[in-house]
Amino acid sequence: MLQQTPLFEWHKQNHGRMVDFAGWSMPVQYSSIVSEHLGTREGVGLFDVSHMGRVTVEGDQAAEWLESMLTRQVRDLSVGRSRYTLITGVDSTQETVQFDGEPVILDDAIVARLGNSEDGGQRFSIVVNASNRPRVVRWLKACLPQEGVRLHDTTEETAMIAVQGPRVFGRNQDGILEGPLGNIFSSGILEKVAALKNYGVLETEFDGKPVQVSRSGYTGEDGVEIISSSLSALMLWERLLEHSTTGPCGLGSRDTLRLEAAMPLYGHELCETTDPFSAGLGFAVNVESRDFPGADGIRIRRGTGGRCRVGLVFDSRRAARTGDHVQLSQDGTESVCGEITSGSFSPTSERGIALAVVDRAVGKPGQELEALVRGARLPVKVVTLPFYRRSHQ
């Protein structure tokens, strides 16, 4: 049985094309991936991302414990701020975690510092990938101290909706905010949300129940991600839809949007044994004067990786697939120098694009290479990432 988000029935009734995604029945598209992609780039798109894992961590030792578990520093995270991090630990497909394995990258995540709990303890939220939630939760629970920290997987009792696009915070000619968020929040709360900086977090209410609003997303556009009670999810979704220029969008366009923005995806740019420095994620690993599972191994690898992550653009609309080889053709000889980690047709630039990991010697912008795509040799060029950068006007 596939898991279902609180909006599952709505998706079915409104012609969402449902697919199995990481064990969840999710809409991959409604109209078309291209129209939903371009609609989000130009206006406002709405995404049900309730399949993402959501975990709360609280207690008077929560910050110190997370500091020892995540690759990114947590102690300096102020209330109302979040940041990207990696979670390293021992992989296990069993119900119990054995502490005899070499630590690997279990997932990437967003960790947020929230206001204190009712008993005065520190409180954090962590959002992880749907496919990795079970093993991440098992690992974190297995590492909990006997006291001072409490962990709760809230995924099945909450929903998560992403509101993305340049018109999320549009203002009318009088300077008053208008758009989908104005249909769910008072003007005072809406101004506070609009004032959030990137990765800022605000806790407020909708329908008399707590909601968490983050100035974040996975599309390269401005917008927010809202975590609400599952009981309020349908009302929240329908209210937002009333002022969404594009309407509902599926996971297909979310993937092409994140690829244009060069955002990593676990299982593609990241896996258990990825060198975060070669993958361009060194910023998410704070190894100086602190320890976390696998820190020693990551310290050893720092600065020694022979590869780097790059962006590739094609001359045609044809797209490469994950695992396709990248090669250097020179003086009549051909040598494999890397592989594609994510590839797709780019609706914004109307040509094929890809993320790849290649030898550093051929990773400079302007370098001409070839991608081997289903038996064909296609010319590609290394470009500076991201492929798409939104206007901040």
- SS3 string, 41-70, reads HHCCEEEECCCCEEEEEEECCHHHHHHHHE
Query: In the Cβ-directed half-sphere of 167, how many Cα atoms lie within 13 Å?
Result: 19
Q: Report pLDDT for 101.
A: 72
Examine the pLDDT at 2 and tell me if it is beyond 70: yes
Q: Report pLDDT for 288.
A: 84
Name 106's Cβ contacts closer than 8 Å, sequence gap at least 6: 87, 88, 89, 91, 132, 135, 136, 139, 272
Examine the pLDDT at 95 and tell me if it is beyond 80: no
Q: What's the pTM value of the predicted model, to 2 decimals?
A: 0.96
Q: Where are the beta strands (DSSP E) in the chain?
A: 3-4, 17-21, 24-29, 45-48, 53-59, 81-89, 104-114, 122-128, 150-153, 158-164, 201-206, 209-214, 223-229, 247-249, 307-314, 325-330, 333-346, 351-359, 368-373, 376-383
- pLDDT tens string 211-265: 999 999 999 999 999 999 999 999 999 999 998 899 999 999 999 999 999 999 9
- pLDDT tens string 269-302: 999 989 999 999 999 999 887 899 999 888 887 7
Examine the pLDDT at 380 and tell me if it is beyond 80: yes
Examine the pLDDT at 393 and tell me if it is beyond 60: no
- d(CA 113, CA 144) in angstroms, rounded, equals 18
Name 318's Cβ contacts closer than 8 Å, sequence gap at least 6: 345, 352, 373, 376, 378
What domains, with CATH codes, occur in the chain?
A: 1-300 (3.30.1360.120), 306-383 (2.40.30.110)
Query: Residue 53: pLDDT band by 50, 70, 90 thresholds?
Result: very high
Judge contact between 314 and 356, C-beta under 8 A.
no
Q: Report pLDDT for 172.
A: 84
